[in-house]
């Protein structure tokens, strides 16, 4: 079996530059996609892009050297193209386009998965961005199977391909499906029958077994990992180990993860506003409970904290106690 490309998904309010930094330190990830940058009739100054993708200041790479591709969301073809050109001039690794966000607010403003009702507009957006950036720069896209249903899935993929996209990630659910299981990986296989551009399968990949089954059902070797990677930071390494790639470590012990949590907290305190800090830690611990029993205890202890000083004391206690060792 061919070793796949493993991509770290964009997830608004969760997989920001701080968590990208931490998760790519663990290994196994080939590329990240940023949270979407919403384009609404404005050519943004560079400082706005740097707020979402500070990695632009270091060759569009995380601290571990993993490429980060900025993602744009919107429906204004000209404005999207202009902003993509500015990102290219700033040294972006490529440009990704969001045709999958299920947010009702975004959809009401003709963004994200709402665009899947208009394959012709998808073509215009991708082709406009493709023309606006240098030929060597990849332009990729991420889509769901549709808005209310999946009847236009193939038409949307064909439009994105015809416009010159270099890669397409398919989240195998409609907007109406939200994040409820299952993901319909077999529909990605259907799309593969009509397009030739590289496809990446996404949706409901929580374990190594899920990843292998997704590859089999979808026919895609390359995968995008989202919440599954947040819940199990070693998931990409585990997938590579199952495929014979023999990474340094296919799992993380709880003490190892505590070290990452402490580093995550340091970065959160350095880069995020005080009012956001404890919430971000609770958010990650909440997802970690799916894989680590110790995270249940940690979440119960931290969930009442609002003062960052309480988290500092808790982390010191964990370090002194050698929890899980």
Q: Which residues have a catalytic role annotated?
A: 101
The structure tokens 């180990």 sit at 241
**What residues pair up with 324 in beta bridges, in sequence order?**
none
d(CA 241, CA 251): 10
In sign, the C-alpha dihedral spanning 310, 311, 314, 316 is: negative
Q: Under a CB-based contact definition with an 8 Å cutoff, are residues 311 and 42 in contact?
A: no
d(CA 206, CA 213): 11
In sign, the C-alpha dihedral spanning 128, 112, 114, 228 is: positive
The structure tokens 């680590």 sit at 292
d(CA 256, CA 43): 43
Chain mean position to CA 219: 21
Question: Apex CA 36: angle with CA 31 and CA 41, to 5°?
Answer: 135
Chain mean position to CA 156: 21
The helix-helix angle for 308-321 and 254-271 (nearest 10°) equals 160
User: DSSP characters for 64-116?
Assistant: TS-BEEEEEE-S-HHHHHHHHHHHHHTT-S-EEEEE----HHHHHTT-GGGGG
Give the DSSP H or E segment for 35: strand 31-38
What are the tokens at 52? 């979402």
Give the DSSP H or E segment for 50: helix 46-52
The helix-helix angle for 77-89 and 119-132 (nearest 10°) equals 30
């Amino acid at each position: 079996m061919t070793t796949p490309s493993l991509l770290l998904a964009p997830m608004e309010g969760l997989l920001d530059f701080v968590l990208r930094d931490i998760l790519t330190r663990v290994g196994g990830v080939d590329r990240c996609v940023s949270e979407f940058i919403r384009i609404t009739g404005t050519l943004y100054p560079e400082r706005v892009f740097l707020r979402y993708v500070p990695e632009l200041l270091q060759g569009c790479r995380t601290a571990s050297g993993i490429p980060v591709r900025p993602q744009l969301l919107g429906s204004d073809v000209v404005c999207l193209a202009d902003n993509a050109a500015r990102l290219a001039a700033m040294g972006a690794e490529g440009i990704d386009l969001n045709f999958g966000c299920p947010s009702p607010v975004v959809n009401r403003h003709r963004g994200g998965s709402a665009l899947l009702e208009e394959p012709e507009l998808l073509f215009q957006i991708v082709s406009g961005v493709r023309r606006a950036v240098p030929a060597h720069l990849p332009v990729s896209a991420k889509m769901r199977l549709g808005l209310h249903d999946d009847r236009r899935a193939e038409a949307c993929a064909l439009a994105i391909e015809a416009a010159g996209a270099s890669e397409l990630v398919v989240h195998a659910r409609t907007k109406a499906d939200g994040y409820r299981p299952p993901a319909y990986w077999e529909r990605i296989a259907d799309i593969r029958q009509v397009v030739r551009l590289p496809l990446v399968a996404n949706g409901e990949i929580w374990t190594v077994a899920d990843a292998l089954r997704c590859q089999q059902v979808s026919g895609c070797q390359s995968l995008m990992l989202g919440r599954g990677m947040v819940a199990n930071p070693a998931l990409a390494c585990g997938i590579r180990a199952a495929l014979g790639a023999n990474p340094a470590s296919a799992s993380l012990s709880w003490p190892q993860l505590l070290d990452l949590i402490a580093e995550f907290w340091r970065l959160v305190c350095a880069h995020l506003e005080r009012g956001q800090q404890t919430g971000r830690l609770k958010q990650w611990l909440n997802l970690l409970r799916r894989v680590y029993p110790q995270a249940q205890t940690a979440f119960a202890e931290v969930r009442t904290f609002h003062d960052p000083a309480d988290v500092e004391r808790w982390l010191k206690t964990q370090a002194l106690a050698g929890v899980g060792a």
